[in-house]
Amino acid sequence: MSRHSHHFLGELIRKVNTEGDIALAITRFICYHPINEFEPFFESLGLKPCEYSPFLPRKLMFLADDEFLLENYRILATYGIERNSIGIIYRDATEVFRYGKGVLSAKLSAYEELGFSTSFVARVVSCFPYLLTGEVNIDFVRVMEILKRIGIDFQWIEDQLSERNSSCNWKQSLLLLKSITNAGYSDEKKLSQLLIEHPEILFGAEQSVLLIGVLLKTGFAMAEIVSILQQFPKMEVGKFVSNLRQGIHMLDEIKMEPCEIAEIVHSHALLLGSCTLKKTKTLLYRLNIGKKRLRELIREDPRTMKNWSKDVTAMKIDFLVKEFGYSISCVVGFPSLLNFKVERIKLRLLMYGWLKDEGVVKPGLSLSNMIAASDSVFFGRYVEKHRRGPEVWQDLRNKIYGDDNV
């Protein structure tokens, strides 16, 4: 215990006279100042003083006086649960350590009798201490039964649990699985593949159920929602839901018709959920346009909203400043930059840089003239000034756009 209670020992040493024999000094100090054994015990379980302070008993100082605490600790330790995990169980489910003789062992055995291995139960209760309170958690058991039925190995589940805290809501996980299967998604192999490829959908089920609710309200059929889940990006479901709501809120704030909003969400839900859009006022300021023009841009091509995300904006500014040497003031002076794709900006800048090196264009061309001009104007005004211009333009275009080049 003392090997894992550095803070307690440090405080103890600080209080005694460390000159001479430290061991003797500590012994004398303890004779006149009995220590509270619960403090080093809780710290040895990985709890910080601010975490275990509320749990310190008022009338007890010696661990031996709390027989249930030590008995239940020994049961968990013998079961194979790590010391720090026992600390988490104490913090999140303190009542477990007040169980009388045989109660905790019976609860652990109850899960084993349902077909779960000792190592699996140890991992699960370490991540979700509340499973040791009350009766066997039926929602958890049913989720495990469904996962086993569709061919998901418990080892995979155990590996996923090791990366998550106790935030998973098994009731919501069960509701999610039922919603998907009730929608006619009866192909167990595909469902298994969906969950394995996107475990965040299952283990973030509370947000996944919320996402389904948002999509249902905007006119999605359940089969279409399953299709969305199959293409789900590598991100937290909660973040996706937040982005989607923010996108819907922005469309509403610029006075788009409800039917238009529903149509855009229906066609571009993955785009809206994947991008963190700026707030409406900030967006209008950055684009230097009004709500009417913003509505027109979105109607023309909803995909342009991807260019207004915080990540894309940061990337544009980053390579303009770091790769091309522009000052922040130049970027700020051209807020409509957000309207244009990264590929377009990069192509124009690289082409202009080449022409400048060849001495056929003057330096100092503003970003607005360079980027905002149409392809035909930019091509005729600059690219064709050099006999090799069209060839270099096409080479750069192929490198930047790749397979998307047309």
C-alpha 292/C-alpha 98 separation (Å) is 65
- pLDDT (tens digit per residue) in 367-387: 888 888 888 999 999 999 999
Q: Minimum mean pLDDT among 102-116, 169-183, 391-405: which range?
A: 391-405
Predicted confidence at residue 46, as pLDDT, reads 84
Predicted confidence at residue 141, as pLDDT, reads 94
Predicted confidence at residue 159, as pLDDT, reads 85
- pLDDT (tens digit per residue) in 325-374: 777 777 666 766 767 888 888 899 999 999 999 999 888 888 888 888 88
Count Cβ atoms below 10 Å from residue 374 Cβ, excluding itself.
Answer: 8
Q: Minimum mean pLDDT among 142-151, 172-181, 275-284: which range?
A: 275-284
- pLDDT (tens digit per residue) in 26-62: 676 666 667 777 888 888 888 888 888 888 888 888 8
Residue 146 has pLDDT above 50, yes or no: yes
- Residue of 20 and 301 predicted with greater confidence: 301
C-alpha 329/C-alpha 145 separation (Å) is 60
Residue 406 has pLDDT above 50, yes or no: no
Can you tell me whether residue 304 is helix, strand or coil? helix
- Residue of 95 and 37 predicted with greater confidence: 95
Exposed, middle or buried by CB within 10 Å (0-12, 13-18, 19+), for 357? Answer: exposed
Q: Where does the pLDDT of residue 157 fall: very low under 50, low under 70, confident under 90, or very high at 90 and above?
A: confident
Residue 198 neighbours by CB under 8 Å, 6+ apart? 229, 232
Provide the phi-psi class of 164: left if phi over 0, else alpha when psi is between -120 and 50, else beta.
beta
* pTM recorded for the entire structure: 0.69
Mean of pLDDT values over 260-284: 89
C-alpha 270/C-alpha 169 separation (Å) is 24
Name which of 89, 83, 101, 174 is nearest 130 in CA terms.
Answer: 89
Mean of pLDDT values over 143-167: 82
